[in-house]
Amino acid sequence: MLSPKAKVVYFDNPATSFPKPEIVVDAIAQCMKEIGGNPGRSGHRMSMEAGEQIFFTREVLSDFFGVQNPMKVIFCSNATDALNLAIQGLAYQGGHAITSSMEHNSTIRPLYELEKQGKIRLSIIPCSSEGLLSCGHLENAITKQTSMVVINHSSNAFGTEQPIQKIGEICKNRGIAFIVDSAQSAGILPLNMAKDNISILAFSGHKGLYGPMGTGGLIIADDFNHKKIRPLKFGGTGSLSDKIEQPDFLPDCFESGTLNVPGVAGLRAGILFIKEKGLACIRKHKEDLVAYFLKKARAAVPGFLTYIPDSSIKTGIISFNIQGFLCSEIANALSEEYNIMSRQGLHCSPLAHKSMGTFPHGTVRFGFSIFNTKEECDLAIESLQEITQKKGKK
Amino acid sequence: MENPSVILFYSTNYAIWTKNVLQKLHIEHKMASVPRHLSSECGYCVMIQNQDKEKIIQILHQNGIEYDRIESLIGLS
């Protein structure tokens, strides 16, 4: 029986990071206690201060992702929301879209829905056994009608990294919009929209950027005309209030309704936290934990199975199974008996699991954050050992 | 301000951007509610000294800050 005081080990960081840095919690609390106004809606001091919270975060994000104009940062409620805006917003022109077999449902579902409605034609390019997209296969799939390529930078299920700079170059040379889903890579892998030739970047605020849930957004490249994207939401923006038409200028055209100001303030604090730690340091910490855990787990846990070469894991994610067990058995036992939080199943990525041969059963996923430690890895390995031993005795 | 003008924006996001740029350059300015006789906007504008107008227009262009227009308030207060 688990003691209520047993230490919680949280390995579900690819779903949402926990804990959040103290400065994130403080920034949200300070915003809620002291800056209560609605940004852009009124002329009073508290409204302006709320507007400043939003603007400063736009500046931090545009700088972090290599964009000069802060107004090209659009706040959404999460990466799925942002991907829907980008994909559906571009698809009104019709055409042909290309994506990979390693995508999350946040990309596949809107694309599939558009194809079902007859608005676009969709090609899903199979990836290698290491989860990588071949640039040659991509080039072969491109037609004169191809209007967008949508690729996730890193797989949420396996932690692999796609060669986005090369993909971006191929798209740029052909005038194709390149949409990148950075939900699992932002705050871990280097990303620069100008250098990586990205037209539109969707990001999650509450995973590797350490902000609160309910934050995320879209960033449009300096050289990409935002008018190619049709808004999905229409309504009050605080601007052009005498007109019933939606404004066509950034960021208002895509930001109808009141923004999540405390969440956005917390997101800025999260990015400042990352900048202080340094991306390289965060990455190294995760790589060290992955190497440590895999080495010890393989030696200590009978039947421990992984699916990609260790060198292909780039974002601190370990997707595994234990022979003779369902992944749900492992994850439930970890949670209920050992207070270790993980995620089991298909991770909203059925195509990625099909690509890696783990469909339909899925895997147990551990995803490390900067706050995880080797001691927690040891605890997890001991727990996995006990779980397998208990079943052996039955 | 003795000889005020106001910069009107399509969006308050640009008013805040302008405020921050002018603050960094130590140019006198003040945020204010949009004067109702000048615009139907819900938000705010940036009040500046009329004599700084040309210099500030250049700064706005250099930073890529879009604005609607600049109106003098001299004689209106």
Asked if A48 lies within 8 A of B16 by C-beta distance, the reply is: yes
pLDDT at residue B48 in the model: 97
Question: Which residue among B17, B32, B64 sits closest to A55, beta carbon to beta carbon?
Answer: B17
In the block, tokens 């005081």 appear at A5
**Residue range(s) of every CATH 3.40.640.10 domain in chain A:** 22-277
Mean residue pLDDT of chain A comes to: 95
- Check CB contact of A246 with chain B, cutoff 8 Å: no
- Is residue A185 scored above 60 in pLDDT? yes
Model confidence at A43, in pLDDT bands (50, 70, 90)?
Answer: confident
pLDDT at residue A392 in the model: 67
Question: CA A207, CA A171: separation in Å to the nearest integer?
Answer: 28
Per-residue pLDDT averaged across B25-37, rounded?
91
- Is residue A394 scored above 60 in pLDDT? no
- Check CB contact of A129 with chain B, cutoff 8 Å: no
Residues of B in contact with A47 (CB under 8 A): 43-44
Asked if A252 lies within 8 A of B13 by C-beta distance, the reply is: yes
Q: If you count DSSP H runs as helices and E runs as strands, how many of each does chain A have, helices first?
A: 11, 13
Residues of A in contact with B17 (CB under 8 A): 55, 70-71
Per-residue pLDDT averaged across A317-344, rounded?
95
Model confidence over A123-155: pLDDT tens digits? 999 999 899 999 999 999 999 999 999 999 999
Q: How close is the nearest chain B Cα to the Cα of A243, in Å?
A: 9
- Check CB contact of A248 with chain B, cutoff 8 Å: no
- Is residue B72 scored above 60 in pLDDT? yes
Whether residue A274 contacts residue A25, with contact meaning beta carbons closer than 8 Å, is answered with: no
- Is residue A1 scored above 60 in pLDDT? no
Whether residue A310 contacts residue A318, with contact meaning beta carbons closer than 8 Å, is answered with: no
Residues of A in contact with B33 (CB under 8 A): 42-44
The residues that bridge with B29 in the sheet, in sequence order, are B48
Question: CA A214, CA A77: separation in Å to the nearest integer?
Answer: 5
- Check CB contact of A235 with chain B, cutoff 8 Å: no
- Check CB contact of A4 with chain B, cutoff 8 Å: no
Whether residue A335 contacts residue A306, with contact meaning beta carbons closer than 8 Å, is answered with: no
In the block, tokens 């999460």 appear at A78
Helices A45-64 and A22-34, axial angle in degrees (round to 10): 150
Asked if B43 lies within 8 A of A70 by C-beta distance, the reply is: no
Sorted by sequence, the CB contacts under 8 Å of residue A9 that are 6+ apart come out as A338, A339, A340, A341, A372, A376, A379, A380
Number of domains forming the structure of chain B: 1
Model confidence over A14-24: pLDDT tens digits? 999 999 999 99
Cis, peptide link before residue A251, omega less than 30° from 0:
yes
Lowest mean pLDDT among A161-175, A296-310, A367-381, B61-75: B61-75
Asked if A239 lies within 8 A of B41 by C-beta distance, the reply is: yes
Q: How close is the nearest chain B Cα to the Cα of A170, in Å?
A: 29
Strands A146-152 and A96-100: parallel
Per-residue pLDDT averaged across A202-212, rounded?
98
CATH class of the domain comprising A22-277:
alpha beta
pLDDT at residue B40 in the model: 67
Sorted by sequence, the CB contacts under 8 Å of residue A274 that are 6+ apart come out as A187, A208, A209, A210, A282
Is residue B2 in a domain? no
pLDDT at residue A242 in the model: 83
Residues of B in contact with A53 (CB under 8 A): none
CATH superfamily of A9-20+279-393: Aspartate Aminotransferase, domain 1 (3.90.1150.10)
Q: How close is the nearest chain A Cα to the Cα of B13, in Å?
A: 7
Model confidence at A7, in pLDDT bands (50, 70, 90)?
Answer: confident
Q: How close is the nearest chain A Cα to the Cα of B52, in Å?
A: 23
Question: Which residue among A52, A241, A249 sits closest to B40, beta carbon to beta carbon?
Answer: A241
- Check CB contact of A52 with chain B, cutoff 8 Å: yes
pLDDT at residue A117 in the model: 96
In the block, tokens 């950075």 appear at A182
Asked if A242 lies within 8 A of B40 by C-beta distance, the reply is: yes
Asked if A54 lies within 8 A of B13 by C-beta distance, the reply is: yes
Instruction: Establish, for the pair of chains A and B, how many residue pairs have beta carbons separated by less than 8 Å.
Output: 75
- Domain range for B41 is 9-69
- CATH number, domain at B38? 3.30.70
pLDDT at residue A244 in the model: 93
Model confidence over A354-365: pLDDT tens digits? 888 899 999 999
**Residue range(s) of every CATH 3.90.1150.10 domain in chain A:** 9-20+279-393
